Amino acid sequence: QVNAVPKKLPYVPSEEEIRQYYNTVWKSKNMQDVMIIKTLLYTGIRVSELIRLKIKDVDLDGCQLKIISGKGQKDRIVPFPKSFRETLALHITKALQNKSSCLFESSWAKPYSDRGIRKILEKYSKMAGMVENISPHKLRHFLFTWLKKKGIDDALIQPYSGHETRQSLEIYSRLLLAK
């Protein structure tokens, strides 16, 4: 018999920490950074998916993003809140004026790298005085734990999250119980 060592649960920021973090981002007045962080927070997409998002993958009428070749080379549709649509539309208009095809491009008119996005988030973690660095995956954990807290069924969260099975979502229930 093998004694399984229980996996350590990942850190999930509290709603207050997310509020503090977002307020710091907002006060920076860097709208590109605000949009990047809102997109991660509202959709739960992975950083690798964010940096590959094209403007054509955004359906403003349907309030959804088409993720092409996400983890495991799977495509999926990810919804975003209707309240985010207008802000996203303004961002897209500006991006199109700059002749961008990617939803997010750096100041060098190139798509961001994974590391570039992580550095942006890290910068705001320091500015906000966060005890734990806010990473793209922590925003993802926060969203899915928050959805579970609001009573959203795993059957709805699973396709949204890109997880292979509902069992993969068990961690969010465990995170919720640990709080």
- pTM score of the predicted model: 0.85
Options 140, 141, 148, 160, the catalytic residue: 140
136-167 as b/e: b if 16+ CB within 10 A:
bebbbbbbbbbbbeeeeebeebbebbbbeeee
93-149 pLDDT per residue, tens: 999 999 999 999 988 888 899 999 999 999 999 999 999 999 999 998 899 889 888
Task: Tell me, yes or no, if 140 is annotated catalytic.
Answer: yes
Q: Which of 54, 123, 137, 174 is catalytic?
A: 137
Q: Which two tokens stand for residue 73?
A: 């080379």
For residue 141, indicate whether it is catalytic: no
**At 69, which amino acid appears?**
S
Residues 6+ apart with CB under 8 A from 58: 65, 66, 88, 92, 103
What is the spatial distance between Cα 63 and Cα 68, in angstroms, rounded to a whole number? 16
Quick one: pLDDT at residue 9? 73
Q: Among the options 54, 66, 71, 123, which is catalytic?
A: 71
The average confidence (pLDDT) of the chain is 86
Choose, from 21, 38, 42, 46, the residue flagged as catalytic.
46
pLDDT at residue 74 in the model? 73
